[in-house]
Amino acid sequence: MTRFLVILSIIYIALSIYGFQAFRTLFKSAWWHWAYAIAFFSVWAVLIVKLVTADPNTPMRSQIAIAGGVFFSFFLLALFLGFFLLLEDVVRLSVYGFNKIAGVTGEGGKYFPSRRKFVSGIGLGLAAIPFGALLFGMYRGKYNYKVLTYELEFDDLPEAFDGYQITQISDIHSGSFDDRDKVAYGVDLINEQQSDVILFTGDIVNDKCEELRPWAAIFSKLSAKDGVYSVLGNHDYGDYTQWPSQEAKAQNLEDLKNLQREMGFDLLLDEHRFLERDGQKIVLMGVENWGRGGFKKAGDLQKAKSGVAKDDFKILMSHDPSHWEDEVISDDYHFHLTLSGHTHGMQFGVEIPGLIKWSPVKWRYKYWAGLYNEMGQFINVNRGFGFIGYPGRVGIWPEITVLKLKRKKSA
């Protein structure tokens, strides 16, 4: 950690000093120069203090996340400024070389051209876009809940379930929350959908059960006619923090399972439930986390479907969408609808319905946000209710998904 902080500090300070050249070109007042220096130094100092004094055995605290988010915003500001200054300096050096060889001098007999205000202005203006977006994402974006509604048609949906409504949420990450009113508003918004069932697809904490306890009363208010069901995500196993012993880690997982049950969540651990209506049924299945690329592969799909008939209508809850891609769609059973989360849409991207849907996470996950259909099977990848790491969202907003099941009408 110490080496990482030293390297990070050197890069940040170097970028800050280099980027200051553009700032100095545009603003001549010493007050502005001091404001620049104080702002960049303060952001760096706060982050270093937070990281150095942090206890690695405690859950990630919101103060550390906020300090990191502000630091990253300033880091990108300096990086963008540095990029434009570098382009300008390449041109200036080329002109200097030509002037030196040709013996051409500019104003005051100088061979080396001065910085141009318009280049610095363009650099600062463009750099301000990600800088402002990241700060706005921390201030407003992380609780900017959106309700997304989809209607799905199936030939073999039991008639009694025509119009059945599901609300899906995912990736609560309770250890990152810092505003009880906003979280309570999000829970109320979920209940306002008045769905028949609420399904939570994993990652209720960042690391430890203790993160959830302050928020348990709020999430206990989730209510639906057919109940609230959940599965585990990769973060729920406590794999990303230090434990005094394996016994303590195992006890944390048991405590988390029990707390979810106390909250009224029916936690599915490689098992299934039958949802019944007017003598007909559909199957709700839930597996433990199964993920590609180093993530825990605890889920057992075969165990979960034991006792389920091939022609049953099946809804599967599986936290990581790579499970659907690698195992589910090729299984000999037909899983009508799979619900996942995990990716968060990277909490950063651009989405304009019908025009563009982009996030850097698409380079890792083929199915990273929204609804997909392969081989007659659907998956919805929820963008997440909470956040982790960067304490905000830009362009990829926290999501409450409403899925309406419809029986396809005969021609």
Q: What are the residue ranges spanned by the domains of the chain? A: 2-139, 143-407
Cβ atoms of 373 and 348 within 8 Å: the answer is: no
Q: What's residue 87's pLDDT?
A: 83
Residue 121 has pLDDT above 90, yes or no: no
Under the banding of pLDDT at 50, 70 and 90, the label for residue 106 is low
Q: What's residue 103's pLDDT?
A: 65
Amino acid at position 29, single letter: S
Residue 117 has pLDDT above 90, yes or no: no
Percent of the chain with pLDDT over 70: 93
- Name 142's Cβ contacts closer than 8 Å, sequence gap at least 6: 386, 387, 391, 392, 393, 398
Q: 169: part of which helix (H) or strand (E)?
A: strand 165-169
- Tokens (6 digits) for 52: 């150095």
Highest mean pLDDT out of 38-42, 226-230, 355-359: 226-230
Residue 145 has pLDDT above 60, yes or no: yes
Instruction: Go through the chain and tell me how many residues it has.
Output: 411
Q: Which of 68, 71, 72, 76 is nearest to 126 (CA)?
A: 76
Q: What's residue 17's pLDDT?
A: 92
Q: Point out the least confidently predicted range of 59-63, 66-70, 178-182, 330-334.
A: 59-63
Cβ atoms of 35 and 43 within 8 Å: the answer is: no
Give 215: exposed, middle or buried? Use CB within 10 Å, 0-12, 13-18, 19+: buried
Cβ atoms of 21 and 85 within 8 Å: the answer is: yes
Residue 158 has pLDDT above 70, yes or no: yes
Q: What's residue 112's pLDDT?
A: 58
Residue 110 has pLDDT above 90, yes or no: no
Cα 295 to chain centroid distance, Å, stands at: 16
Percent of the chain with pLDDT over 90: 74
- Name 303's Cβ contacts closer than 8 Å, sequence gap at least 6: 270, 271
- Mean pLDDT across the stretch 344-372? 95
Cβ atoms of 197 and 166 within 8 Å: the answer is: yes
Residue 105 has pLDDT above 90, yes or no: no
Residue reference for tokens 């021609």: 411
Q: Which of 74, 59, 73 is nearest to 141 (CA)?
A: 73
Amino acid at position 162, single letter: D
Highest mean pLDDT out of 48-52, 103-107, 313-317: 313-317
**pLDDT tens sequence across 280-315:** 999 999 999 999 988 999 999 999 999 999 999 999
- Mean pLDDT across the stretch 393-398? 97
CATH fold group of domain 143-407: Purple Acid Phosphatase; chain A, domain 2 (3.60.21)
Q: What's residue 271's pLDDT?
A: 98
Cα distance between residue 49 and residue 64, in whole Å: 9
**pLDDT tens sequence across 182-213:** 999 999 999 999 999 999 999 999 999 999 99
Residue 111 has pLDDT above 60, yes or no: no
Q: What's residue 57's pLDDT?
A: 53
Global pTM?
Answer: 0.89
The larger pLDDT score, comparing residue 45 to residue 51, is at: 45
Q: What's residue 55's pLDDT?
A: 67
CA distances from 176 to 170, 207, 208, 387 (A): 14, 10, 12, 7
Cβ atoms of 192 and 391 within 8 Å: the answer is: no
Residue 44 has pLDDT above 80, yes or no: yes
The sign of the CA dihedral 321, 327, 328, 330 is: positive
Q: 219: part of which helix (H) or strand (E)?
A: helix 216-219
- Name 251's Cβ contacts closer than 8 Å, sequence gap at least 6: none
Residue reference for tokens 């319905």: 353
Cβ atoms of 296 and 234 within 8 Å: the answer is: yes
Cβ atoms of 281 and 156 within 8 Å: the answer is: no
Cα 234 to chain centroid distance, Å, stands at: 14
